[in-house]
Amino acid sequence: MKTTTISLLRQWKQEQKKFATITAYDASFAQLFEEQGLSVLLVGDSLGMVVQGCDSTLPVTVEEIAYHTRCVRRGAPHSLILSDLPFMSYATPEQAFASSATLMQAGANMVKLEGGSWLCDTVKQLTERAVPVCGHLGLTPQSVNIFGGYKVQGRDEIAANQLLQDAQNLEHAGAQLLVLECIPAELARKVTEALSIPVIGIGAGNATDGQILVMHDAFGITGGHIPKFAKNFLAEAGDIRLAIKNYIQQVEESSYPGEEHSFK
């Protein structure tokens, strides 16, 4: 199997070929995902909620992300693996360097961090030190206490303009990938068109270059609140391998996410 790289994702963006991604936390699911064609995997701090049973992502540590990254890397040796820098692990550039080194040495190809233009110096310095960076804008779960809950972001003109500016600034600083979470579909389209780097959406409409889902949402095993953007592909397919293939196909043909999964 050919190894997935950021250069390949850039090529897909240029060719307007959409791609699906998913979260992974262990070797077995990582192997299953890679075998079925999901070759971009995120070891997300969402593991705090879906694996550990916490009520937010905040308790997750760098060491825990590194542990799960090692597991996923063993299961998916050819995939592009993104690993989250957890809460307060990159508050300063020095913290970001140490945290990123731990995750890269565990098998990550890229680290993901949440935040806007204030992170540009950190992104620039990480990139200069051979650490590829994925940005994350919109609903950033580590800021849940600032937002007052998990709410759609960028709905007014000022917030939308700021998000677009943050996205452009992150790209200029060296970010090679961007995740947009829970923002209006039209805003996500504008950001995707404005950037030369690939943009991955979750709750951001179907105009982004790629889509990502928490695996538990894709298989209908999420407890409690089910996000509007989630779709239970397993219930639709009745077989986990077919569910993965359907997810990939529907993303590639832009039938998922539909309007019912998007925000205006």
Residue type, 58: L
* Residue 88 lies inside a defined structural domain of this protein: yes
Residue 158 has what pLDDT? 96
Residue 150 has what pLDDT? 67
Q: Give residue-wise pLDDT tens across range 225-251.
A: 788 999 999 999 999 999 999 999 999
* Residue 207 lies inside a defined structural domain of this protein: yes
* Residue 193 lies inside a defined structural domain of this protein: yes
Contact between 106 and 74 under an 8 Å Cβ cutoff? The reply is no
| Domain extent for 257 | 6-261
* Residue 93 lies inside a defined structural domain of this protein: yes
* Residue 191 lies inside a defined structural domain of this protein: yes
Q: How far apart are CA 85 and CA 114, in angstroms?
A: 8
Instruction: Measure Cα distances from 150 to 57, 144, 147, 211 in Å.
Output: 12, 6, 7, 19
CATH of the domain at 183: 3.20.20.60
Q: Give residue-wise pLDDT tens across range 202-231.
A: 999 999 999 999 999 999 998 777 889 999
Residue 223 has what pLDDT? 75
Residue 222 has what pLDDT? 83
Which residue stretches of the chain have pLDDT < 70?
147-150
This prediction's pTM: 0.96
Residue 60 has what pLDDT? 98
Residues annotated as catalytic (active site), given as ranges: 181
Residue 148 has what pLDDT? 66
Number of structural domains found in the chain: 1
* Residue 1 lies inside a defined structural domain of this protein: no
